[in-house]
Amino acid sequence: MAYGLGIESSCDETSVAIVRDGKDLLSLKVYSQIESHSPYRGVVPEIASRAHLEKINSLLAVSMEEAGINYSDLDYVAVTSYPGLVGSLMIGAQMARCISLVYGIPIVAVNHLEAHLAVIGLEREFPAFPWLGVLLSGGNSSIYIYKGFGDLEILADTQDDSLGEAFDKVSAVLNLPYPGGPYLEAKAKAYQLEKGEGNPFPKLLKEDGEEKIRFSYSGLKTAVLYYLRANSEAPPVEKISYFFQKTAFELVTRNIRKAITKTGIRTVVAAGGVLANGTLRESLEAEKERSQFDLFYPQKKIYCTDNGAMVACLGYQLWKQKSFVGLDFKVSPKRNFEQII
């Protein structure tokens, strides 16, 4: 039996988890800093790192007690080392170093983006590699070719705003609370579509052919802004939300179709905060039927947003490969950070 601790502190969630054999979740604690950042409608790095520092010890103590183990029982400590806010990553990294130093436990440094995709291992057996890893979060709209643990290659990326960012910015202009995703989703759900009603927003990136695969949401954001200005007397918030989602998710499913055609890979794993959106899940399910591929995404919404369980889960696979790092390992804001070992 192997016990692993996962530590996540890359952005605005402080989270720790204890996992047995890479799949049995014994404890998961998440402290969300949303309240501290919402007056600024975005994550303030200095506030984030201070909050991690304040919370991490107590989360660890509660988690250890809940799991019923001691630090000396741990086989590895996995920690997010990139990408993320450096000041925030450093808090988790320093905690991992302390535990490693005191108890002689190996450290596994984890790529946050890969962990989002690998979290499905907590809910089912991993499908056979390669996968198309579709990451839709506050910082990313991208598709990876995921060849094996620790081995990802980027296939498609965003040119500007990520999907989560677009949700947050559009919800801001609609006067919805921060972070906007769940509120905008609720407004969209409340919309009664009229028969034959057309989409007021243009299809995204329609100039791209079959070969080019990329994301871009800034044009949609601008279209929403203009539509809102033209309807400023009585802003149709539900209608805008509905068609915003429809337009945004159409680009996701189109890009998945293109990625399958380009690579021949028919295993799609989708993850990240935006996967908490029920309409997106339905769109992906519908696309799966249409285009005939195997689709996986985290069933539990807590596994969509940042969490320590995904770090411990991926950490187990890397620990089995003996991908350890020394106490002097680095953290990085960069997504393609390679020099961690």
Backbone torsion region of residue 84, taken as left when φ is above 0, otherwise alpha when ψ lies between -120 and 50, otherwise beta = left
Decide: 134 and 256 in contact? Cβ < 8 Å: yes
Question: Is 181 annotated in some ligand binding site?
Answer: yes
Instruction: Tell me whether residue 59 or residue 188 sits nearer to ligand KG4 (CB atom).
Output: 188
Among 158, 305, 317, 332, binds ligand KG4 (CB under 6 A): 305
For the bound state, the minimum distance from the C-beta of residue 193 to ligand KG4, rounded and expressed in Å, comes to: 19
Residues 267-296 that bind ligand KG4 (CB under 6 A): 272-274, 276-277
- The stretch near ligand KG4 (CB under 6 A) out of 93-101, 173-181, 191-199, 286-294 is 173-181
| C-alpha torsion 159→162→167→169, nearest 10 | -70
Among 8, 161, 287, 306, binds ligand KG4 (CB under 6 A): 306
What does the alpha-carbon distance between residue 130 and residue 189 come to, in Å, rounded to a whole number? Answer: 35
Instruction: Tell me whether residue 273 or residue 315 sits nearer to ligand KG4 (CB atom).
Output: 273
Question: Is 275 annotated in some ligand binding site?
Answer: no
Among 4, 6, 92, 179, binds ligand KG4 (CB under 6 A): 179
For the bound state, the minimum distance from the C-beta of residue 106 to ligand KG4, rounded and expressed in Å, comes to: 27
By the rule CB under 6 A, 137 interacts with ligand KG4? yes
Site string for ligand KG4, 186-225 (x = CB under 6 A): ----------------------------------------
By the rule CB under 6 A, 182 interacts with ligand KG4? yes
- Summarize the annotated binding site for Fe cation as residue ranges: 112, 116, 306
- Summarize the annotated binding site for substrate as residue ranges: 135-139, 168, 181, 185, 277
